[in-house]
Every structure is written in structure tokens, then in C-alpha cells.
């Protein structure tokens, strides 16, 4: 039995917020535009009204504010220079690292899954594998107790 791809209308509001945040962070990384003009543009996009605007705000402004710190967390897990990472995948890794740190009500495995889905939708051919590897490497340092609890109960891969 095959499952049809999830229709856009069925996506949860937080998933939509992440999608808009990826697009906005891409504009920031590539175009160096200021957060206020990016935010204004993004809020005008079709479908934004169905997104969790509070979560979007936290991701956009939090990732831009904490960009240097997020890069320092990601950098040791990369196999290449940060400048060689796709801007989309860079933005998605920011979102994952930010959510690990600041959105405790989203389980670590859900953060990774959401980011992998974003990379499949917006990133390059195998970008989702790279995002998955980096965030899986980051999870134990930012969500250690949660990762260990899952491993102890057999829910996480060793």
C-alpha cells in the first residue's frame, strides 16, 4: 500500500512556519537582507496565514540573532567549509539547532524529521541525508537527556 504525499492543506501550522522560515532565512543568507524587510515580504506570500506565525517569528528572528552561535554548533559536524554548504541546507540546519535549544516541546526526533522533510522539499538531491547526519550529530550535545532516554528505551538508533 502506498501513501499519497501529504497535501499542503493537511500540513500542521508549525510545519508551514518552518517552510516559510527556510525561505526567509535563505533570503537572509544569500541576499543579506535585513530581517524586517524579509519578514514583511514573507508574510505577504500565499498561504502564510495558515502558518504558526509565532513559531515562524521565533525561527526567523532567533536564527538570525543567534547565527554565529548556531554556526559554531554546526561547524564541527561538517565535512567541508560552511561557505560550501547550500544556503538552503544551512538555513535548515540553523532551524534544527535553534529548535533543539529553544523549542523543548518538540521532541528531538521530530525536529530532525521536520528538517529532513524541509531538505527533501527545498534542498538538493541528497541534501536531506547531510542535514540528517549533522542534526543527528548535534542532538546528543543539545538534547542529551532526551536522546539517552530514547536510546535506553530502544527508540533511537545507536
Q: What is the pLDDT of residue 110?
A: 93
- Given a cut of 60, whether residue 109 has pLDDT beyond it is yes
Mean pLDDT of 17-44: 92
Distance CA 84, CA 37 (A): 26
SS3 state of residue 125: coil
Distance CA 39, CA 24 (A): 7
Of the options 1.10.579.10, 1.10.3720.10, 1.10.940.10, 1.10.357.10, the CATH number for the domain spanning 13-30+38-152 = 1.10.940.10
- Given a cut of 50, whether residue 158 has pLDDT beyond it is no
Mean pLDDT of 34-42: 91
Q: What is the pLDDT of residue 125?
A: 85
Distance CA 121, CA 88 (A): 10
Mean pLDDT of 6-35: 86
Percent of residues, the chain, with pLDDT higher than 70? 92
Q: What is the pLDDT of residue 156?
A: 54
List, for residues 66-75, the tens digit of each pLDDT value.
Answer: 999 999 999 9
Distance CA 130, CA 134 (A): 6
Q: What is the pLDDT of residue 72?
A: 96
All structural domains of the chain with their residue ranges: 13-30+38-152
Binning pLDDT at 50, 70 and 90, where does residue 151 land?
A: confident
H-run or E-run covering 71: helix 67-74
What pTM was computed for the model?
A: 0.88
Q: Of 68-77, 94-103, 105-114, 142-151, give the lowest mean pLDDT range.
A: 142-151
Amino acid at each position: 500500500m502506498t501513501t499519497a504525499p501529504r497535501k499542503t492543506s493537511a500540513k500542521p501550522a508549525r510545519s508551514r512556519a518552518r517552510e516559510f522560515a527556510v525561505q526567509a532565512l535563505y533570503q537572509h543568507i544569500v541576499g543579506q537582507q535585513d530581517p524586517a524587510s524579509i519578514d514583511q515580504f514573507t508574510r505577504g506570500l500565499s498561504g502564510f496565514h495558515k502558518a504558526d506565525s509565532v513559531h515562524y517569528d521565533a525561527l526567523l528572528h532567533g536564527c538570525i540573532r543567534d547565527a554565529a552561535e548556531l554556526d559554531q554548533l554546526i561547524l564541527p559536524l561538517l565535512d567541508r567549509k560552511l561557505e560550501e554548504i547550500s544556503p538552503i541546507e544551512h538555513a535548515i540546519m540553523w532551524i534544527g539547532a535553534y529548535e533543539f535549544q529553544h523549542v523543548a516541546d518538540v521532541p528531538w526526533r521530530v525536529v530532525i524529521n521536520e528538517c529532513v522533510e524541509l531538505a527533501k522539499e527545498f534542498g538538493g538531491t541528497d541534501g536531506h541525508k547531510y542535514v540528517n547526519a549533522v542534526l543527528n550529530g548535534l542532538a546528543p550535545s543539545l538534547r542529551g537527556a532526551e536522546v539517552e532516554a530514547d536510546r535506553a528505551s530502544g527508540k533511537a538508533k545507536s
